[in-house]
Structure 1
Amino acid sequence: MHPLKSALATLVAAAAFAAPVAAATCGNSAGGFEGWKKAFAAEAQAAGVGQRGLQALANAQYASGTISADRNQKSFKYSLDKFMQVRGADTIVAQGRKRKARDAGFYQSLESRYGVPAGVLLAIHGMETGFGGFMGDSRVVSAITTLAYDCRRSDFFVPHAVGALVLVDRGAITADTRGAKHGELGHTQFLPGNALQYGVDGSGDGRVDFYNQSDALASTANFLRQKGWQPGGGYQEGQANFNVIRQWNAAGVYQKAIAIMASRIDG
C-alpha cells in the first residue's frame, strides 16, 4: 500500500492512543487565528504531524478570501439550466469527447481497474479546473487551516487540515502549494484529507502528485470506487451510482451536471 493511502488510518490510530489534547477553540474573525494555530499544533502533533507540517502550520496566514468564498457559494442557488450555462457545459462535453478519443487507452485502463467510465472522470475534470486550465491560486495550507479554525464548519475541515500538514511532511505538497479557495488541490480538486486517503499513482513514477493529470484522474476513479461505485451500473439521477456522484460535491445542481455531461461525453 502506498504511504499516502495508509497515512489517514495511521493518523486515526495515533490520535486514539495519544494523550488527550484540548481542542483548539474556533473563531469567526482573523483575531484569534494565531492563538488557534498554537493550540491546533498540539492536536496535529498528537495525530502524527511532523516538523515540516508543524512549520507549515506556523507560517499559515488567515485566508480572508477563503472565508468570503465560503459565505457566498452561488452554485447552491442556481437552477440546473443556469448552472450548466455558467459552467460551460457544451464546451466541457466537446473537449471531453476529444480528450477521450485522444487518450482512449488511458481511460479504458482506468475503467478496467476502477469501473468508472471516462465520461464521469472527464466531466469532473472539466468542471473542477477546465481540464487543468486553472487549479487555483490560494495557498492550500492557509486556506484549509483557516476553514478548520472558522466556527462555521470546523469539525468538517479539521481532518483535512491535519491531512494537508501530513502531505507537507511527506513532500506531496509544500506550504506554498496553490489550490482552490477551500484548500482543494490538483486537477480534480481533492480536499487534503481525501487526497491522503484515496491518492494513487496513476503515472507509474512511484509518487502521488495531484498536479499530475494521470495521478489525479486515477485518484478520482479510486475515490468513486471506494465510495461504492458499481462497475457497469447507471449513474443518472435515480440510479445506483448517482449516490456515489453525490459524495463528490454537495450541490445538487453540480451532481446532476456531472451525470448529464458524462452521459453526453460517453454517448
Structure 2
Amino acid sequence: MSAMKSFALALLLTALVPLPLTAAPCGNTSAGFAAWKRDFAEEARRAGVGQRGLQALAQAQYATSTIAADRNQKSFRYSLEKFMQVRGADTIVAQGRKRKARHPEFYAALERIYGVPAGILIALHGMETAFGHFMGDSPVVSAITTLAFDCRRADFFTPHAIAALKLVDQGTITGATPGAKHGELGHTQFLPGNALAFGVDATGDGRVDFYDMSDALASTANFLRQKGWKPGRGYQPGEPNFEVIRQWNAASVYQQAIAIMAARIDG
C-alpha cells in the first residue's frame, strides 16, 4: 500500500472513532445555564442517574441567591469570639443542654452505636439549622446544579449535583425539596454527596429522611464515625477527633466553635 493510501486510511479510521464527550463549559452568570443542563444531563445519565433525576435537572432554575451567598461568606472571616456571638453559641448551648436532658436515651444510643458524644451532634444540629427551625428555602437541586455550573468551584460541586439527582431517583428528595443556599439539606445540612454516602434509616421506615431528626442525627454520627471518629477520645484542638470535625466544615472558626459548644453541652 502506498504511503498516500496509508495516510488516507488512517484519516478514515480516525473519523470513525467517536470523540469522547466533554463536560459542558462553566459560566459565571445565568447565560448558558440551559445549554449546560442539556450537556450535563448526558454526564448524569452516564453516571447512573435515572429518569426522575433527569427530569429534576431539566426543571432546575439558575439560583441567583445561591451565587450571591457563595460570594459573601463573611462570617467565616470573623474572630472566634465574634463568630460565636453572631451564630448564637450561648443559645445553642442552653437549648442543647435541655435537649440532651429531654432525650438522654436517644443520644446515648447514638453514642453506643457510633461513638460520637451528644455534645458534638447537638452543637452541629444547633449551628446548622437552629435545631431544625430553619432548614433552608432554596430548592436543593437548583442550588447545587447552579454551583456545579458556576466556574468558581465547579469541580467540587459537580459530584454533589450528580448525587442530588440520584437522591431524587431514590425518592429521598424531589426537585422542589428546600435546603440551604449551597444545596445542603435536612436538620444538619448534608451536602448531597455525603447524604447519598452516609445516610442512615434510623427510624426503620425503609427510607432515609434528612428532614426527620432521628435519621439526620444518626446519619451525622455515621458520617463522623466513617471519617475517623475515635470513640472515647477528645475532640478539642490538638486531640484526635478535632481532625474529624474538619471533615464536616473546612472553616477553622467553625471547627473551634463546635468543639467549645460541644464541651459545654456535654458538661
Residue number in structure 2 paired with 1:194: 194
Query: What is the CA distance between 1:73 and its match in structure 2?
Result: 0.3
Q: How does 1:22-41 map to 2 (within 5 A)?
A: 22-41=22-41
Task: Give CA deviations for 1:174-224 in whole Å, capped at 9, x if unaligned.
Answer: 000000000000000000010000000112222100000000000000000
Task: Give CA deviations for 1:94-134 in whole Å, capped at 9, x if unaligned.
Answer: 11001011110010000000000000000000000000000
Correspondence 1:216 to 2:216: yes
- Structure-2 separation of matches of 1:154 and 1:63: 15
Q: How does 1:178-257 map to 2 (within 5 A)?
A: 178-257=178-257
SS in 2 for 1:246: helix
Q: Report if aligned partners of 1:202, 1:215 keep a CA contact under 8 Å in 2.
A: yes
- Structure-2 separation of matches of 1:131 and 1:109: 19
SS in 1 for 2:247: coil
Which sections of structure 1, spanning at least 5 residues, go unmatched? 1-18
Q: Which amino acid aligns with 2:140?
A: V
Q: Report if aligned partners of 1:65, 1:181 keep a CA contact under 8 Å in 2.
A: yes
- Structure-2 separation of matches of 1:136 and 1:254: 19
Task: Give CA deviations for 1:28-76 in whole Å, capped at 9, x if unaligned.
Answer: 1100100100000000000000000000000000000000000000122
Residue number in structure 1 paired with 2:91: 91
Residue number in structure 2 paired with 1:10: none
- Structure-2 separation of matches of 1:21 and 1:200: 35
- Structure-1 separation of matches of 2:122 and 2:116: 11
- Structure-2 separation of matches of 1:75 and 1:145: 24
Moved over 6 A (4+): none
Residue number in structure 1 paired with 2:262: 262
Query: What is the CA distance between 1:164 and its match in structure 2?
Result: 0.4
Residue number in structure 2 paired with 1:150: 150
- Structure-2 separation of matches of 1:20 and 1:57: 22
Which sections of structure 2, spanning at least 5 residues, go unmatched? 1-18
Q: Report if aligned partners of 2:168, 2:174 keep a CA contact under 8 Å in 1.
A: yes
Q: Report if aligned partners of 2:96, 2:123 keep a CA contact under 8 Å in 1.
A: yes
SS in 1 for 2:209: coil
- Structure-1 separation of matches of 2:100 and 2:152: 40
Q: Report if aligned partners of 2:76, 2:83 keep a CA contact under 8 Å in 1.
A: no
Q: Which amino acid aligns with 2:147?
A: L
Q: Which amino acid aligns with 1:53?
A: G
Query: What is the CA distance between 1:20 and its match in structure 2?
Result: 4.7
RMSD over aligned Cα, in angstroms? 0.9
Q: Name the % identity.
A: 76
Residue number in structure 1 paired with 2:13: none
Change (3 A) 1:98 1:26: same
Query: What is the CA distance between 1:21 and its match in structure 2?
Result: 3.0
Q: Which amino acid aligns with 1:92?
A: I
Residue number in structure 2 paired with 1:135: 135
Residue number in structure 1 paired with 2:173: 173
Task: Give CA deviations for 1:139-167 in whole Å, capped at 9, x if unaligned.
Answer: 00000000000010000000000000000
Aligned length: 249
Residue number in structure 2 paired with 1:51: 51
Q: Which amino acid aligns with 2:155?
A: D
Q: Report if aligned partners of 1:75, 1:254 keep a CA contact under 8 Å in 2.
A: no
Q: Which amino acid aligns with 2:76?
A: F
Q: Report if aligned partners of 1:75, 1:251 keep a CA contact under 8 Å in 2.
A: no
TM-score normalised by length of structure 1:
0.92
